[in-house]
């Protein structure tokens, strides 16, 4: 009975259902690979703080993404992440069914409660097909995040979308909006559509028998991918073999195109509100998908989660209440310079301890330390700073230190070669510029790495960084950004005030890349040599000014509290 009442807390009021293939809540629950998943986790944490009525749906990913080791020769090695769902999550006794490839596949949910110190609780459901009675291959569908082949991905997306919508129904949730975090979850629209069958009387035309508008009213879609090739597509023969025909394939072809089953098009066609994840990315998405109205809501980070303990203490002292109202960081000038500097030195020492423990290298707390960590995809250009080693040495010999980290997707060979190339440069520069590559970049590593460096470097090929969020994690810890003008940084950058740009300004309306490697590298070296190093070494007060501006002009705004208020007013309640 008590259990029943506890559940009613979740089901008595209509909720927003947030669907994401990956959710990163903590390093112990390894069901995320990078920015998309951590954004989802941060979104849910802010929703809990703000007591928004939400419920989140994802997959259990029993074998996680992967654990990264780097071998002696600088090549990435991958190992499954062993984690025990029972230790973190509660198995619920409800089950639901989805037909896949003609077989009924049972799904069970694991519950995690995201609890805010402010009182809010958001249930997160992790869907799992590893149930006795399911065919052996179906039991593995929810094992690997972004593992397996295209068929495996299609099956996972059926479980997430159709299975997730059915699961919410089986658990008695009353859902007022469905929010798809990227196209992976788009198949939830099929379940909604199939529930509208017969609502419209005129069966003469197939499309008319299904209430598309009823589904659109319920759906919000956030697209994250700025390139055509990045969007999920499946060949129709595969789809017709695997996907249950809860909606006629002929109608699906009208909605997503005859060439392939394109989940982005499905979500676009069946959502009343669609957005990109930064202003620039909204523009890019409009030109990728002409004819659709696409808004922009810039991503954020959950402020408390990403603030190092050293800065938490300072903020608590001078700006009490900041964690649930990050806008207060606008008053950062109330914090004395010495407190800012001391907190940063604490975070730096905390990182350097970790570096020494994991690599045996001893870093110098007095040197300008640059950080670069993110998924190792080639467009992120982790090696741009190594374009001209002579130049880098001339600028940085004895004055600079670098910390890298990042995993490459196991099938991304160019990404792995990038990791290898960086290790070659580390060896070449040894004894002149100290550089480490920390293994297994995850939320724990990020939490130590980002606040502990002095400058956060980001060098993506424009316009491929849809938003980027690690730079926001830097800002809230008083670490200025030094970044190509792309994604969120176009909105956060004030030259010499909040940090520094690399390369030319973004081109208006352009979707194509501007600026080349050479031009960007030259600008990087020029600013590092003439502006950044002299400020860091010669003008402590000037440097702290920039640190404070990162907090007061970037971190106060680029967070998931602000972002969620925008989703509520612009997407959820309209
Ligand atoms: C924040 C974060 C990311 C995303 O960083 P970007 O700069 O947006 O690429 C990826 N991985 C981890 C572990 C993170 O903490």
pLDDT 10s digits, 256-266: 989 999 999 99
Measured in Å, residue 375 CA sits from the centre of ligand 1 at 7
Q: Are residues 326 and 286 in the same domain?
A: no
Q: Are residues 339 and 243 in the same domain?
A: no
Which pLDDT band, with edges at 50, 70 and 90, does 200 fall under? low
25 CB near ligand 1 (under 6 Å)? no
Assess whether pLDDT exceeds 60 at residue 513.
Answer: no
pLDDT of residue 7: 84
pLDDT of residue 3: 63
What whole-number percentage of the chain has pLDDT above 70? Answer: 96
300 CB near ligand 1 (under 6 Å)? no
For residue 307, tell me if it sits in a domain.
no
User: Which residue among 38, 464, 554 is best mutated to probe the pocket of ligand 1, counting the most ligand atoms within 8 A of its Cβ?
Assistant: 38
Residue 186 in tokens: 């788009």
Measured in Å, residue 442 CA sits from the centre of ligand 1 at 8
For residue 368, tell me if it sits in a domain.
yes
Which pLDDT band, with edges at 50, 70 and 90, does 227 fall under? confident
440 CB near ligand 1 (under 6 Å)? no
pLDDT of residue 198: 65
Average pLDDT over all residues of the chain: 95
CATH code for position 67: 3.40.50.2000
Q: Are residues 288 and 379 in the same domain?
A: no
Q: Are residues 51 and 111 in the same domain?
A: yes
Estimate to the nearest angstrom the gap between the alpha carbon of 277 and the chain centroid. Answer: 10
* Pairwise CA distance, residues 376 & 393, whole Å: 24
For residue 366, tell me if it sits in a domain.
yes
Measured by CA distance, the residue closest to atom 5 of ligand 1 is: 470
**Short-list 219, 224, 221, 229, CA closest to 285:** 224
Measured in Å, residue 134 CA sits from the centre of ligand 1 at 35
pLDDT of residue 463: 92
* Pairwise CA distance, residues 168 & 179, whole Å: 13
Q: Are residues 187 and 293 in the same domain?
A: yes
Q: What are phi and psi of 286, to 5 degrees?
A: -60, -40
> Is 561 in contact with 50 (CB distance < 8 Å)?
yes
For residue 187, tell me if it sits in a domain.
yes
Q: Are residues 435 and 455 in the same domain?
A: yes
Please state the rounded mean pLDDT for residues 510-515.
55
> Is 521 in contact with 449 (CB distance < 8 Å)?
no
Please state the rounded mean pLDDT for residues 51-66.
97
Please state the rounded mean pLDDT for residues 112-132.
97
Please state the rounded mean pLDDT for residues 232-250.
95
Measured in Å, residue 298 CA sits from the centre of ligand 1 at 15
Q: Are residues 414 and 544 in the same domain?
A: yes
Q: Are residues 266 and 327 in the same domain?
A: no
Q: Which of 523-552 are b and which e, b meaning 16 or more Cβ less than 10 Å from the residue's Cβ?
A: bbbebbbeebbebbeeeeeebbbbbbbbbb
Q: Are residues 273 and 358 in the same domain?
A: no
374 CB near ligand 1 (under 6 Å)? yes
Distances in Å between the Cα of 481 and the Cα atoms of 154, 207, 284, 383, 489 are 38, 50, 23, 17, 8
For residue 315, tell me if it sits in a domain.
no
Measured by CA distance, the residue closest to atom 11 of ligand 1 is: 34
pLDDT of residue 1: 45
Q: Which of 200-231 are b and which e, b meaning 16 or more Cβ less than 10 Å from the residue's Cβ?
A: beeeeeeeebbbbeebeebbbbbbbbbeeeeb
Question: Tens digit of pLDDT for each residue in 401-441?
Answer: 999 999 999 999 999 999 999 999 999 999 899 999 999 99
372 CB near ligand 1 (under 6 Å)? no
Residue 510 in tokens: 């352009």
Please state the rounded mean pLDDT for residues 454-479.
97
Which pLDDT band, with edges at 50, 70 and 90, does 509 fall under? very low
Lowest mean pLDDT among 174-178, 253-257, 472-476: 253-257
Number of domain units in the chain: 2
Measured by CA distance, the residue closest to atom 4 of ligand 1 is: 35
Measured by CA distance, the residue closest to atom 8 of ligand 1 is: 468
472 CB near ligand 1 (under 6 Å)? no
Q: Are residues 337 and 438 in the same domain?
A: yes
Measured in Å, residue 374 CA sits from the centre of ligand 1 at 5
Domain, as residue range, for 411: 320-504+513-558
Q: Are residues 540 and 567 in the same domain?
A: no
For residue 329, tell me if it sits in a domain.
yes
pLDDT of residue 197: 79
Measured by CA distance, the residue closest to atom 9 of ligand 1 is: 374
Please state the rounded mean pLDDT for residues 503-528.
81
pLDDT of residue 156: 98
* Pairwise CA distance, residues 465 & 91, whole Å: 37
For residue 142, tell me if it sits in a domain.
yes
What whole-number percentage of the chain has pLDDT above 90? Answer: 91
For residue 136, tell me if it sits in a domain.
yes
* Ranges of H-type helices in 185-235: 188-195, 212-218
Q: Report the atom number in ligand 1 closest to the C-alpha of 467.
A: 8
Residue 156 in tokens: 């996972």
* Ranges of H-type helices in 302-369: 303-306, 309-318, 337-359
Q: Are residues 250 and 343 in the same domain?
A: no
Please state the rounded mean pLDDT for residues 195-214.
71
User: Which residue among 299, 373, 449, 459 is best mutated to probe the pocket of ligand 1, counting the most ligand atoms within 8 A of its Cβ?
Assistant: 373
Which pLDDT band, with edges at 50, 70 and 90, does 295 fall under? very high
Q: Which of 423-458 are b and which e, b meaning 16 or more Cβ less than 10 Å from the residue's Cβ?
A: bebbeebeeebbbbbbbbbbbebbbbbbbbbbbbbb
442 CB near ligand 1 (under 6 Å)? yes
């Amino acid at each position: 009975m008590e259990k029943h009442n506890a559940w009613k807390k979740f089901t008595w009021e209509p909720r927003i259902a947030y669907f994401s293939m990956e959710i990163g809540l903590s390093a112990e629950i390894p069901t995320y690979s990078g920015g998309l998943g951590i954004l989802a986790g941060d979104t849910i944490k802010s929703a809990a703080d703000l007591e928004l009525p939400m419920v989140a749906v994802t997959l259990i990913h029993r074998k996680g993404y992967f654990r990264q080791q780097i071998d002696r020769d600088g090549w990435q090695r991958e190992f499954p992440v062993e984690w025990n769902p029972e230790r973190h999550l509660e198995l619920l006794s409800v089950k639901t069914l989805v037909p896949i490839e003609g077989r009924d596949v049972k799904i069970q949910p694991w519950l995690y409660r995201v609890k805010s110190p402010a009182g809010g609780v958001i249930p997160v459901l992790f869907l799992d097909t590893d149930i006795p009675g399911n065919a052996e291959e179906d039991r593995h569908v929810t094992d690997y995040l972004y593992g397996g082949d295209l068929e495996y991905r299609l099956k996972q997306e059926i479980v997430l979308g159709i299975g997730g919508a059915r699961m919410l129904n089986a658990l008695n949730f009353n859902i007022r909006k469905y929010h798809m975090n990227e196209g992976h979850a788009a198949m939830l629209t099929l379940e909604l559509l199939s529930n509208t069958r017969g609502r419209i009387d005129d069966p003469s035309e197939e499309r008319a028998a299904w209430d598309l508008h009823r589904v659109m009213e319920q759906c919000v879609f956030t697209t994250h991918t700025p390139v055509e090739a990045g969007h999920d597509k499946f060949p129709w023969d595969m789809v017709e073999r695997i996907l249950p025909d809860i909606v006629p394939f002929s109608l699906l072809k009208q909605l997503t195109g005859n060439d392939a089953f394109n989940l982005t098009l499905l979500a676009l066609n069946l959502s009343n509100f669609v957005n990109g994840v930064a202003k620039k990315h909204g523009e890019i998405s409009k030109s990728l998908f002409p004819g659709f109205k696409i808004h922009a809501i810039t991503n954020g980070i959950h402020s408390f989660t990403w603030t190092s303990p050293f800065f938490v203490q300072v903020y608590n002292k001078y700006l009490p209440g900041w964690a649930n109202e990050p806008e207060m960081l606008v008053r950062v000038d109330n914090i004395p310079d010495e407190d800012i500097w001391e907190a940063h030195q604490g975070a730096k020492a905390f990182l350097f301890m970790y570096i020494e423990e994991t690599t045996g290298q001893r870093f110098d707390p007095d040197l300008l330390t640059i950080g670069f960590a993110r998924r190792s995809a080639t467009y992120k250009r982790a090696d741009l700073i190594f374009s001209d080693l002579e130049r880098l040495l001339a600028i940085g010999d004895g004055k600079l230190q670098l910390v890298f980290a990042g995993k490459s997707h196991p099938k991304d060979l160019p990404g792995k070669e990038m990791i290898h190339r960086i290790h070659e440069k580390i060896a070449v520069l040894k004894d002149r510029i100290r550089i480490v590559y920390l293994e297994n970049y995850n939320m724990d590593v990020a939490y130590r790495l980002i606040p502990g460096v002095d400058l956060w470097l980001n060098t993506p090929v424009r316009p491929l960084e849809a938003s980027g969020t690690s730079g926001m994690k830097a800002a809230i810890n008083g670490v200025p950004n030094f970044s190509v003008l792309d994604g969120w940084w176009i909105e956060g950058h004030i030259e010499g005030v909040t940090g520094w740009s690399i390369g030319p300004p973004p081109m208006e309306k352009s979707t194509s890349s501007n600026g080349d490697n050479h031009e960007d590298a030259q600008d990087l070296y020029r600013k590092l040599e003439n502006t950044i190093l002299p400020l860091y070494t010669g003008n402590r007060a000037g440097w702290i000014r920039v640190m404070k501006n990162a907090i007061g002009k970037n971190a106060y705004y680029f967070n998931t509290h602000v972002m969620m208020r925008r989703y509520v007013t612009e997407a959820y309640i309209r």
